[in-house]
Amino acid sequence: MENAGRAVAHAALEFAAAALGKQPAGVKAVICCGKGNNGGDGLAAARYLKQAGADVKVFILPPKETGYGELVVKNLEAAKAAGVTVAITGKENLDALAAELSAADLLLDCLLGVSAVGKPTGPVHKVIQLMNKSGRPIIAVDIPSGLSPDTGHHSGVYIMAKLTLTLGFAKSGLMAAHAQQNTGLVKVLPIGYPTALIDEASR
């Protein structure tokens, strides 16, 4: 997560400079995080963006009954310690989330990773809708939430990204022609995966 967060933050700031003409201290970013490892990557990225001078807010989905995983908790605590504003995404603050999304320069989608299956439902469904409705550029981390990493197909609820920062290697679904209208530009971020693992996953 540390390598992923650092790489995502760097790429997001590059996008802000090239596409929006903004330097780090002028960037206002909202990161929407899921409860799993993709959310942990987003929390790590939030810390690096904050350290670079950006104004960062995180909205994270509520934990499972057993709580967040160990790595997510670690990165959640580190983000808060770095001064990142973190809010739990619930029914009671969806209006606040919508307002923050519309006021941001860019959004990061860290809701669902490559292990997610099926149609997004419940709170994540609503957050995806609000992110798309905001009209702000969305950077998807690893894969746009709601898209299949294997086929690039979706079930009607998915993030429409301007840029997809996929981690380690390109997922086959991102390369499908029908997916590219939803992925935007796809950029592979090296995060230290062994070469043999990347070769095997790319076959």
Per residue in 127-139, pLDDT (tens digit) is: 999 999 999 999 9
The residue assigned the tokens 């983000």 is 79
Predicted local distance difference test score (pLDDT) of residue 198: 47
Instruction: Quick: pLDDT tens for 9-43.
Output: 999 999 999 999 999 999 999 999 999 999 999 99
190, two tokens: 């090296």
Residues pairing with 186 in the sheet: 164
What pLDDT does 116 receive?
80
Q: What is the rounded distance in angstroms from the CA atom of residue 41 to the CA atom of residue 113?
A: 10
**What total of structural domains would you count in the chain?**
1
pLDDT tens-digit map of 83-112: 999 999 988 899 999 999 999 999 999 999
pLDDT tens digit string along 58-86?
A: 999 999 888 999 999 999 999 999 999 99
DSSP code of 186?
E
CATH number at residue 79: 3.40.50.10260
Residue 121 has pLDDT above 90, yes or no: no
What residue numbers bound the domain in which 85 lies? Answer: 2-201
Give the integer Cα–Cα distance in Å for 115 and 161. 19
| pTM, 2 dp | 0.93
